[in-house]
A = this chain, B = another copy of it.
Amino acid sequence: MNEEGKKLAMALRSAYLTMHRRADFYFTQHGVTTDQFVLLHILAQEGAVTQQRLVERASSDPSTVRVMLVLLEGRCLVKRERHPVDGRARSVSLTERGLKVYQNLQSASEPFLDELLADYRSEEVQALLELLSRIPPAMAARKIRRARCQQVFVSESP
């Protein structure tokens, strides 16, 4: 039942994981993981942002982002300062060196991006972007449901 949904989920899984592996193949040769590159990319695009903003943009979660930022900070690619107006928040941005590293990584990402787009015409990319964009809103966590859910584990004792 609901074969269409399963097919879509599996196709999305296959596309993403294959892409992610391929990206890692390129990026790890240059000393960063794909996920680290994503953070650098967002910071290069947006300048100084809060960690919360990074969580949203990277589709990640707070503790993952924190761990990754601490790691990148240790390599002096990123700095985390107190936010000028909201004392609770951090203002995260690229260091000078972080920017330089990011720019050097552009050339590493090109063969990857070329492969990714190789089999699409421009209109098809647009169509794919539009279709993909509907998933995050549809799946946005509405944890309220949890209250109504029972822990219906299937018994594991025979």
Taking beta carbons and an 8 Å cutoff, which residues of A are in contact with B?
A: 1-2, 4-23, 25, 29-31, 38, 41, 59-60, 75-76, 97, 100-101, 104-106, 108-110, 112-120, 122, 124-125, 127-129, 131-141, 143, 146, 149, 151-154, 156, 158
Contacts and interface: CB of A to CB of B under 8 A. Distances in A.
Given A14-B132, A116-B8, A29 B149 contact: yes
So how many copies of this chain end up in the complex? 2
B5 A117 contact: yes
A135 B15 contact: yes
Contact of A113 (B2, B30, B124): B2
Contact of A23 (B9, B20, B136, B153): B9
A7 B154 contact: no
A148 to B, nearest CB: 11
Contact of A129 (B11, B105, B149): B11
Contacts of A135: 14-15, 18-19, 116
B22 A139 contact: yes
Q: Chain A interface secondary structure, helix, strand, loop or mixed? A: helix
Nearest to A151: B29
A153 to B, nearest CB: 5
B16 A13 contact: yes
A12 B19 contact: yes
| Residue among A17, A140, A158 with the highest chain B CB neighbour number at 10 A | A17
28 contacts: A1-B110, A2-B113, A2-B117, A4-B117, A5-B113, A5-B116, A6-B113, A8-B125, A8-B128, A8-B129, A9-B113, A12-B12, A15-B133, A15-B135, A15-B136, A18-B59, A18-B136, A21-B141, A25-B141, A25-B143, A29-B151, A30-B153, A30-B154, A76-B156, A97-B158, A118-B138, A120-B134, A128-B131
